Amino acid sequence: MQTRDLSEHAVYRAGEGSEEVARELGLDPDDLVKLSSNENPLGPSPAAMTAIREAASEVHVYPKSAHTDLVAAIADQWELTPSQVWLANGGDGALDYLSRALLDPGAAVLVPEPGFAYYGMSARYHHGRVRSYSLRAEEGFTQSADAVLDVYDGERIVYLTSPHNPTGTVVDLADVERIAEETNEDTLVVVDEAYGEFAETPSAVRLVEGREGWDAREDVAVLRTFSKAYGLAGLRLGYAVVPEPWAGAYARVNTPFAASTVACRAGLAALDDREHVERTVESAVWAREYLESELDTKTHESEGNFVLAKVSDATAVAEAAQRRGVIVRDCTSFGLPECVRVSCGTREETERAVSVLNEVLAG
């Protein structure tokens, strides 16, 4: 017996964890600085940790009420109807729901290159095809409507990432609107805002709802996550915001109880802890400014909680830094073999990372 043909399916390459690297190098995990996965260096909010402990007594019950409560809170935050919030097991799960809802076999999606591998992976899982548009290093990885529309050919879903991973660039709402306006009426423009809390650019949710001078659109959806600014990456919790006319499709495509009771209760508490999110954003802004000013190499201006740095050989630099106790992301898997991505850590972590990377670069 064989699986179906998976030869065209990409493999998602996650950044190595501290324990993995420590075992490989015979080091103490506590002596490592892990800045390879864009995680929150401040951890989850105290309120979320309390909610996790309290939710332990509920894990024998399916998370119906916890799910309902969190969806209602998210909807209230964005001034949406609850049906427009598609809660999922991480942002990846929300991408899968959108693929299930929109892709017939053979339908195509348009994704950024470089970019998040799971856009294409999700499409292929659902028997779709993948095409790409380029973000060019020589143009500072600028994202524009022209870059998308010049290669658009009727794809069912167009993916935008704002801020973009791994470059940190953003998409103006005017460009999102133009892309939606100039693509077919049955094309959905998905704006992935996993790092949205770190950017000054307004959320594309304004286009979904038609607020603050923007017309409401039925062809724009937005992806959000609790993994980054809220510090809940290990609980896998995310959601999509979709147009109201077809929001009811969620009941037909979602995985039953995909978001756990613990995740939902933690998410609800984290959503209410604005102070923790503000401290997280302030920390990230300081760190990325420090990285951009102090690294002895070219960096790309970022609005995420990470900075992309140009080096001669990403694999060699990442391995050398790792041997010195600092883990950064080799971006070869993104198609950028001359770049490393450095996540924003605490002040101590960021300063150590800069010191080690400059030492490696000088060598």
Q: What is the mean pLDDT of the chain?
A: 93
pLDDT of residue 212: 76
What domains are defined for the chain? Answer: 18-44+275-362 (3.90.1150.10), 46-272 (3.40.640.10)
pTM to 2 decimal places: 0.94
Mean pLDDT of 177-187: 97
Which spans in the chain are helix H? 18-25, 46-55, 64-78, 90-102, 118-125, 145-149, 173-182, 205-209, 250-253, 261-272, 274-294, 314-323, 347-362
Higher pLDDT among residues 4 and 326, named by residue: 326
pLDDT-based confidence at residue 29 (cuts at 50, 70, 90): low
**Does pLDDT of 7 surpass 80?**
no
pLDDT of residue 265: 97
Q: Which helix (H) or strand (E) holds 308?
A: strand 306-310
Q: Give one DSSP letter per residue of 216-228, joined into a string.
A: P-SSEEEEEESSS
- C-alpha–C-alpha distance, residues 328 and 339, integer Å: 10
Mean pLDDT of 339-351: 98
Q: Which residues contact 8 (CB under 8 A, 6 or more apart)?
A: 124
Separation of CA 220 from chain center = 17
pLDDT-based confidence at residue 17 (cuts at 50, 70, 90): low
- C-alpha–C-alpha distance, residues 113 and 6, integer Å: 21
pLDDT of residue 213: 75
**Does pLDDT of 12 surpass 70?**
no
> For residue 202, is the peptide bond before it cis, meaning its omega torsion is within 30 degrees of 0?
no
pLDDT digit string, tens, across residues 226-263: 999 999 999 999 999 999 999 999 999 999 988 999 99
**Residue bearing tokens 């800069």:** 354
Q: What share of the chain is helix, strand, coil (3-state, %, to 5)?
A: 45, 15, 40
pLDDT digit string, tens, across residues 104-118: 999 999 999 999 999
pLDDT of residue 4: 76
**Does pLDDT of 324 surpass 90?**
yes
Q: What percent of the chain has pLDDT over 90?
A: 86
